[in-house]
Structure 1
């Protein structure tokens, strides 16, 4: 998102980079270089009471061989963090009022959390763009009505290519359903 913001800024657009702080240790790693209008939604006391250190659990993302048997467990920490961040974001009336006063033409959000989409709807932004560094989140594909045929289309977390054995197809399906559960579970909170 930072690169996209800087690209739009470089092209002469007036860009606001709005970032809810989910991880205090990484709030200085935003990545924006050209975009100067950066609005951070800091963690409030309620979020600080419930948030857990992310670094303790993040190692499993990089060291665990993920498959359909452990996906739910691995994503649990991430889901908790995103949910707390979204709740914190929505409680911040000051940022909401500040953004509402700007009358944005377009809003761009990441599909990893629907918090941004709900926020834009509440602001009255009619033109929204979903941008992702991943090709497709399996849950997002279903939400926007795109077909996803697990028999030959690898899911986002698939270890297989488009040529799959029957067992790889089953694992692809299970991984996609885990991604779907993770995403829809987070959206429903």
Structure 2
């Protein structure tokens, strides 16, 4: 029979080991299953969403990030992205760019949501949270289809031109538009230009989002 003191020591060690086990499992208990939808907007936007996924994974969460459909990978290559030329500052170019850009996003969305096998696989994962960038509006449709209730909207650019979608006031007299070259320190003329620019940004945003309806 072991001495009483040794029994107490063993009991104390067992309690300490149990405490360490519980503490080490806390990060597992508090981790979430997260789906990150990264729309093929540009390298910088995809890098932005990828960095968010990396940070969450490093924090111990189970993170899945979507992959661009094979049918569109070649079209996203630098050789086929010939938008940038000497006429990039013209209105006609800007309209052409927005139209081509939006059409590509809609095609991506159609391909993603029409893949029933992938949709079923994602639905069976039971993700806790979905993260998408506002400009890549297809992410919201994806999360709705696979039953993700908690959604985080990320933005790699300023939020002022998208505030109306969240019932927030947009104040172009003091907040520069994402298409504007000004800061929040503007004179009367710059505020006027910023106001017009903000309205143009609203029209462009509405044009893009209507394509997804």
Larger radius of gyration: 2
| Aligned equivalent of 1:101, options 103, 124, 148 | 124
Point out the more displaced range, 156-165 or 10-19. Answer: 156-165
Within the alignment, does 1:91 sit opposite 2:114 as a pair?
A: yes
Q: Which structure is higher in helix share?
A: 2
Q: CA deviation at 1:88?
A: 1.7
Within the alignment, does 1:82 sit opposite 2:105 as a pair?
A: yes
Which sections of structure 2, spanning at least 5 residues, go unmatched?
Answer: 1-48
Secondary structure at the counterpart of residue 109 of structure 1: strand
Contact persistence 1:72–1:178 (CA under 8 A): no
Q: Take 1:170 and 1:151, find their aligned partners in 2: how far apart are those partners?
A: 8
Q: Take 2:95 and 2:59, find their aligned partners in 1: how far apart are those partners?
A: 41
Contact persistence 2:87–2:93 (CA under 8 A): no
Structure 2 partner of 1:64: 88
| Aligned equivalent of 2:204, options 174, 182, 185 | 182
Structure 2 partner of 1:12: 60
Q: CA deviation at 1:130?
A: 0.6
Q: CA deviation at 1:69?
A: 8.0
Which sections of structure 1, spanning at least 5 residues, go unmatched?
Answer: 29-52
Write out aligned runs for 1:1-189 (5 A). 1-21=49-69, 23-25=72-74, 54-57=80-83, 59-60=84-85, 64-65=88-89, 71-136=94-159, 138=161, 140-189=162-211
Normalising by structure 2, we get a TM-score of 0.66
CA deviation string 1:27-69 (max 9, x = no partner) = 79xxxxxxxxxxxxxxxxxxxxxxxx74111x25x98347x78
Paired positions, count? 162
Contact persistence 2:53–2:65 (CA under 8 A): yes
Q: CA deviation at 1:2?
A: 0.2
CA deviation string 1:69-121 (max 9, x = no partner) = 86434322211211211122221112111100100000001101221011101
